[in-house]
Every structure is written in C-alpha cells, then in structure tokens.
Amino acid sequence: MKIQFKTTLIITGCLLCLHGSWLPIKGWLSQQLISYSWHQSVNLNQKIKPWPWADTYPIAELLFQRLNKRIVVLNGGDPTTLAFSAGAIAPFNQALSTQPFVVAGHRDSHFSFLDEVFMNDIISLADKHGQSQLYQVEAIDIVDASTGELPVLADNSQLVLITCYPFTNKSSNSNERYVITAKRL
C-alpha cells in the first residue's frame, strides 16, 4: 500500500512539473520558429509562416543595439499575434515606406524593456528584403488610449513603438500607452 501511494505521488509530481514547464517550453519553441521563419523569409523573399496554422508571418526585425535586444516583428496587431511577438499594425505595417511603421507589443513580454530605451537611442529596422534603416528616438510619451488619439502618425517615415503603461503595474488593465517615436536617419 505504501509503495503504491509513493508511486502515485511521484507520478503526480512528475505530471505537475511537466504541466508547469509546458508554457515556458512553448514560448521558447515559438521564438525559435519565428526567428527561423524570419531568416527563411529574407533568404527566399517569401512570406513564411512560423508554423503551418499560424495566422501571421514575420515582416521585419528590430535591433536595439545598446540594449542587445532583437525582436522579429509579425504582421498584425491582434491578440493572437501579440501573444507570440510584437506586431506591426495595419495600415502602418509597411517597413521602410513613406508612412509610419507602427509596432505594438505587450509590456510584460516582448516590449518589457521599452522603459530602458532613452532619447536619441538608435534602433535598426530590417525589412523583408534584408534592407536596414536606422532610426533615432525623438520622443517618448505616455498617452491616454481611451481617447483613441496618439500624438504620432504624421505622414512620414517614423518608427512608432507602443505598449501598455505603467510597466510596474502589470496586473491592471491600463488605459495609458507608452509611445516611442523615432525618426529615420
């Protein structure tokens, strides 16, 4: 009886550990697949989905050299896309065009480091053709999202990064957004 109880306890413990490690493993694997599909997209000059049932595909890569951060940007700003990476929001999802390139991400995952970006920092944006453009941070704003207006989106080639704010209070639904605007160099 004691051996059966111990065996059941060990199996239950193993199953709980396996269940608890599933999300971190899934997160790590999705990042590997997104990175691979980005490199394949650039090499083959095609839209390559990270996995066959994905509703999105990589369209750009952001490099924050001072912070040693690199993020593959997916096409779209819907919740499914943002669960896996930062997403470029239509109709502002054409990298290196004459209109702003707007990227949104979650403050508690892919854009958790945005509070470490400073004025005049340089951000590199690579498009699907492998061409890179440098941008310099020119404004960092905290705006009220409930108004539906952002202090950006002029008709020019800015890079705009958006996440929820504040960074320290991640449990609440905030109406504030942290907006970084960078000008093309």
Kindly report, residue by residue over 126-151, the tens digit of the pLDDT.
988 888 999 999 999 888 877 766 66
pLDDT reading at 14 higher than 60: yes
pLDDT score of 124? 95
Question: Is the pLDDT score of 123 beyond 90?
Answer: yes
Q: How far apart are alpha carbons 107 and 162 in whole angstroms?
A: 9
Q: Please classify residue 163 by burial: count the beta carbons closer than 10 Å to its beta carbon, then call 0-12 exposed, 13-18 middle and 19+ buried.
A: buried
User: For the chain, which domains are there?
Assistant: 2-184 (2.40.260.10)
pLDDT at 119: 95
Give 74's strand partners.
58, 87
Amino acid at 177: R
Task: With a cut of 60, say whether residue 152 has pLDDT above it.
Answer: no
How much is the pTM?
Answer: 0.83
